[in-house]
Structure 1
Amino acid sequence: MSSKEVLERKDISEELKWDLESMYIDQEAWNKDYERAVELAKKFENHKGNIVNSSDNLYNALKDRDELYRLVEHIYSYTHLKLDEDTRLGSSQELADKGMSLIIDVEDKTSFFVPEILTIDNDTIAKYLFEKEELKLYKQYLEDLFRQKDHILSAREESIIAQFGEVASAPEKIFSMLNDADLTFPTIKDENGNDVEITSGNFIPLMESNNREVRKNAFKELYKTYYSFRNTFAAALSGDLKNNVFNAKLRNFKNSREASLSANNIPLGVYDNLIKAIHNNLDTMYKYMDIRKRVLKLDELHMYDLYVPIVQAVDFSIPYDEGVELIKKALAPLKNEYLTAMNEGFNSRWIDIKENRGKRSGAYSGGSYDSKPYILLNYHDTLDNVFTVAHEMGHSMHSYFTRRSQPFVYGDYSIFVAEVASTANEALLLDYMLKNVRDKNEKLYLLNHYLESFRTTVFRQTMFAEFEQIIHEHIENGGALTADYLCETYKKLNQLYYGPNIIVDEEIAIEWARIPHFYYNYYVFQYATGFSAAVALSEKILKEGDTAVDSYLNFLKSGSSDYPINVLRKAGVDMTTEEPVNYAMGIFKRLVDEFDELIQA
């Protein structure tokens, strides 16, 4: 059997799959929890009208809500993970639908909860916190609720929104089913003349091929397939964005961006400063594109030339087990507490490693408060995939420490800091590899990899963020998200961000159709801000040692016990200033210049 062939899940050995049995041993166990959740949701309605009458009532309602939400999170997380193993399975689709319906039902039955709490005046809240010690656990939670008071609707209105939730999630589900389950791509010849079917999982490895014809064919065939479904993808994305705009209006926000960032108390200036900083440094990106064109000895640099390593003589082929050992060595500066927990992850089937037919594309870290912090991968033996493992393990370690250090109410971290731990792992891995490099070509290769991290995580994600802002504003101004408008807008941004030294091929205009993060409601800018914060924190760890490691571990353990801006500030990075992004841009410029000098030496 060819190593290029994508297997069915049943043909992959168990040790390469995550251990979902530790969540539910069988369907009967899941059903039991499901029935318990339904009963708890009904019981919770008894709190209606009584929550604010006493400190005891308030505390009991908060405690019961945690119990219910903790159970529902576990139930739904399982269905989500199970579906992603093979999105083609009707049984898994049905289970996921049942899990989503449960969430909608619970949100409906608890929709009175927040509006009722917000009828309490500040003096009464202070009195309750003083007279009942157990309530102090919820002080940060209550303060955050009252911060958002102007955007919380009546109990009836919140109930209607909750009931509408399943309908509102339809566009993302349509995208996922089309992208992961229904869409198939042509077969092309690889660099050895073998037939290889293009998949979401192997597309980037194909784009890294030293054979330009392989790259070009993979690029054109993949995007030709997406283009043939452009109107369906446009309709799905338009529906999702309209839901964001509608919710923002309902909740009395000026626009959808303000509504999204308000949830985590992120100033709009953080978003604006990011785009401004990147625009101010596009000349360095243009220089990097010129270097890439020159080193690859191309008359014309095309979009399908962006992923091939510039240093052709180095071939990093890294099997999974070797990649894991490399990561362990690289993260040694994080000391024993971190390393012990990480080893547990590698040895206890947290990770679903190999691609199989129907499996969700890409990679992520997931799970519930009471489960292992699972990792989904589609591993191919590339250096980029080793960095993906380090990245997702960073997420999972963040979840691991948060869940073991915080009560459920604060047992998750804000999406604003979600990319910090993952990117810090990548920075430490790269630092280790550069320090242990054997020759000039390998150093050049690794420098190129770091430059690519900046390109894809800072510049590209900021381009995504700007695209997201433009298309939301287009809808908010009464425009329609047609496929033509989306393609035209996306192509123009590629031309702006990549500059005059590259041919922005027509096919790239449809790339927006394959990006799942556009359904995440202003998520992507946090990759770029998180990268900037991670660069600063990783340098502190390497330069300051134990003190910085202790601060970093405290950051990982903080969860949502404070606002994300404050959590990061305590770790030593202030994202309300322009300094972190400008600092990252300074490093990018230095690396581009260093690479250029070394390549010519």
Structure 2
Amino acid sequence: MAEEKLLSRNDVPAALKWDLKLLYQSDEEMKADFDATKKVVDQFTKLQGKLAVDAKNLLVALILGKQIDEELEKEFVYAFLRRDSDTTDATATELYGMISSQLSTISAQMAFMEPEVVDIDDGVIDQFLTVEPKLAEFKFMLTKIRNEKAHVLSKLEEQLLSRASKSLNAPDEIYNTLNDADLTFGMIHDEDGNEVQLTHGNRSQFTESQNREVRKEAVLAYEKPYHDLRNTFAQTLNSYMGMHNMQADVRHYASAREASLSGNQIDEQVYDTLISSVNSHLDLAHRWYALKKKVLGVDKFYKYDINVPIAGNDLLKTTFEDGKKLTREALSVLGPKYMEGLNQEFDNRWIDAAENKGKRSGGYQISVYQANPFILLNWTDKLYSTYVLAHESGHAMHSYFSQRAQPSEYFEAPIFLAEVASTFNENILTDYLLEKYQDDRQIKIFILEQYINGFIGTIYRQSQFAEFEHNAYQTQAKVGTLTADYLDNMSSDLVDKYYGPSVTPTGTKTQSWAYVPHFYMNYYVYQYATSMAASTALSAQVWNHEDGALERYYDFLSAGGSDYPIETLKRAGVDATDSQYLERAFKVFEQRLDEIEALLA
């Protein structure tokens, strides 16, 4: 599926594209539904100023709000997926722009609800819950809103912020358009000397090449446009972080980080404990790079040498069909209930697999309560793509099970939990592959290196990004401007610290921060690291068939967002407020390092 020249969207086989008819038959049908939803919004707005009158009014408002959210989710996701399928498609871009703009208006119309809810006296809320049993479904939702009382503004202020949301989110939209639609990396040479187009999707096949000149050319070519546009990328990031710092200040938070974490009652100490624990185990990552340098037999181990597989390229080359087969086999340990959901995902075109011109880079999963999850991939026929498939399928099955267990207001798990389900699947896939190929030394080395790269990429690299992100937010709040020079130098210092003395810097500094789309997701990246550490414990329990482990994991998947994430994770068997879960993960990582060192001895 990795082509030298990118296919147009129309040339991609239907089997490799998601079926958006699972949402709507046409753009016109979606627009008609959207018009109907706006009429429900009009009904909702008639309740303004009346939520505290009696329990019935509050219940009606909550039910209408729930209906509106379900319908808007379906309509928005359809337009979002249309746009991401091909960001050069003017019709899709216009459709997405239309609904995004009108969502800002709708958000402003509905913004009166939270201020009115927080203004209701506690005794009155308790009375409402007593006299109207149907309010019980919304009790946790009401509790969450009221816990944020100190940060909810007046009705007028909330409406103003809602109306401004599209403009405030512009840096994110500009970044994604620049990165996915406009950025080009030029032509490079493959191992046969042929000129090929470098893209987001195919770069790994060149950066992992056994030919040092091929991977060097690919890495430097990928870095170049980020460096050329470094001031633009600095400005988009500065604007985005400035917007969140402003909103945190307006809402009376001490910082943007506190604002981001407080809604789910995650103590900032969880963030700081992660960074501290990872920094105290940097020697393990440094040990890996030193080992790799030794095995490759190079005098200097450059950044463009990091991704070349020690065991050789593509020992487990996998097509999309191969990847689905491996994922099915690995995850069968989760039993028939899980496999039923996974088979629906694989057999009903919930996945958009092939890379095409204008398609959004990377991979993600997004769910629709009234329909099903959807997954975006950019398949490359490398084992890495199978890991991405397993990862995103973890998200999809998390949504699948919570959708069947929770009302819509609780079905979406907070990110702190969502990344547990995804990295859980990566760990299970590693255990399965190591068992499957236990008698093949070279393939075991290949799989162990895949695991090590995944662990470093998820725990070490995301913690590096988390340090960068928090420092950038703090500097933006203090100084007011993030310059390209400042961001380059800060990122370079962190890269040197996390990679260690065996890795020699090369190329430009900008790409190490400018290519990260998750910096436009407001304190997202640290949750990859905490989740990987938590899932290491949970997946080991399930893989080893420990008593009650599978049942606890199903309960975790089904919980969605029905409780605060720290509490949901505790019931699954992991306490994220204690650093021991991180220590256990590093112990497993060290054991994997010992294993690959023994194989390479």
Aligned residue runs from structure 1 range 103-502, under 5 A: 103-312=103-312, 315-437=315-437, 438-502=439-503
1:373-402, Cα deviation, whole Å (9 max, x unpaired)? 000011011011110111111111111111
Contact 1:78 1:367 (C-alpha < 8 Å) held by counterparts: no
Task: Give, in whole Å, the separation in 1 of the partners of 2:43 and 2:119.
Answer: 22
Structure 1 consecutive aligned stretches of length 4 or more whose deviation exceeds 4 Å = none
Contact 1:17 1:352 (C-alpha < 8 Å) held by counterparts: yes
Which amino acid is the alignment partner of residue 239 of structure 1? Answer: S
Instruction: Give the unaligned 5+ runs of structure 1.
Output: none
Structure-2 residue corresponding to 1:579: 580
Q: CA deviation at 1:108?
A: 0.3
1:394-423, Cα deviation, whole Å (9 max, x unpaired)? 111111111121101112110111111111
Contact 1:284 1:589 (C-alpha < 8 Å) held by counterparts: yes
Contact 2:411 2:560 (C-alpha < 8 Å) held by counterparts: yes
Task: Give, in whole Å, the separation in 1 of the partners of 2:367 and 2:414.
Answer: 15
Q: What SS does the corresponding residue of 2:266 show, helix, strand or coil?
A: coil
Q: What SS does the corresponding residue of 1:570 show, helix, strand or coil?
A: helix
Distance 1:2 1:460, change over 3 A: closer
Q: CA deviation at 1:545?
A: 4.7
Task: Give, in whole Å, the separation in 1 of the partners of 2:244 and 2:577.
Answer: 25
Structure-2 residue corresponding to 1:52: 52
Distance 1:79 1:294, change over 3 A: same
Q: CA deviation at 1:594?
A: 2.3
Task: Give, in whole Å, the separation in 1 of the partners of 2:313 and 2:351.
Answer: 32
Contact 1:333 1:545 (C-alpha < 8 Å) held by counterparts: no
Q: CA deviation at 1:303?
A: 0.9
Contact 1:414 1:564 (C-alpha < 8 Å) held by counterparts: yes
1:436-484, Cα deviation, whole Å (9 max, x unpaired)? 1131111111111111111100000000000000000001112420111
Task: Give, in whole Å, the separation in 1 of the partners of 2:312 and 2:491.
Answer: 31
Give the TM-score taking structure 2 as reference length. 0.98
Structure 1 vs Structure 2 CA RMSD:
1.3
Structure-2 residue corresponding to 1:11: 11
Q: CA deviation at 1:546?
A: 6.3
1:72-111, Cα deviation, whole Å (9 max, x unpaired)? 1111111111000000111111111111112211110011
Which amino acid is the alignment partner of residue 167 of structure 1? Answer: S
**Percent pairwise identity:** 38
Q: What SS does the corresponding residue of 2:196 show, helix, strand or coil?
A: strand
Contact 1:555 1:567 (C-alpha < 8 Å) held by counterparts: yes
Task: Give, in whole Å, the separation in 2 of the partners of 1:366 and 1:444.
Answer: 34
Contact 1:303 1:508 (C-alpha < 8 Å) held by counterparts: no
Q: What SS does the corresponding residue of 1:366 show, helix, strand or coil?
A: strand
Task: Give, in whole Å, the separation in 2 of the partners of 1:322 and 1:2.
Answer: 15
Give the TM-score taking structure 1 as reference length. 0.98
Task: Give, in whole Å, the separation in 2 of the partners of 1:367 and 1:360.
Answer: 17
1:513-547, Cα deviation, whole Å (9 max, x unpaired)? 11100000000000000001111110110223562
Task: Give, in whole Å, the separation in 2 of the partners of 1:129 and 1:210.
Answer: 66
Distance 1:289 1:400, change over 3 A: same
Contact 1:417 1:530 (C-alpha < 8 Å) held by counterparts: yes
Q: CA deviation at 1:511?
A: 2.3
Task: Give, in whole Å, the separation in 2 of the partners of 1:474 and 1:53.
Answer: 46
Q: CA deviation at 1:226?
A: 1.3
485-494 or 34-43, which moves further after superposition? Answer: 34-43
Contact 1:245 1:476 (C-alpha < 8 Å) held by counterparts: yes
Structure-2 residue corresponding to 1:532: 533
Task: Give, in whole Å, the separation in 2 of the partners of 1:90 and 1:276.
Answer: 47
Which amino acid is the alignment partner of residue 178 of structure 2? Answer: L
Task: Give, in whole Å, the separation in 1 of the partners of 2:17 and 2:160.
Answer: 40
149-158 or 591-600, which moves further after superposition? Answer: 591-600
Structure-1 residue corresponding to 2:555: 554
Task: Give, in whole Å, the separation in 1 of the partners of 2:398 and 2:205.
Answer: 28
Instruction: Give the unaligned 5+ runs of structure 2.
Output: none
Task: Give, in whole Å, the separation in 1 of the partners of 2:95 and 2:495.
Answer: 40
Contact 1:45 1:110 (C-alpha < 8 Å) held by counterparts: yes
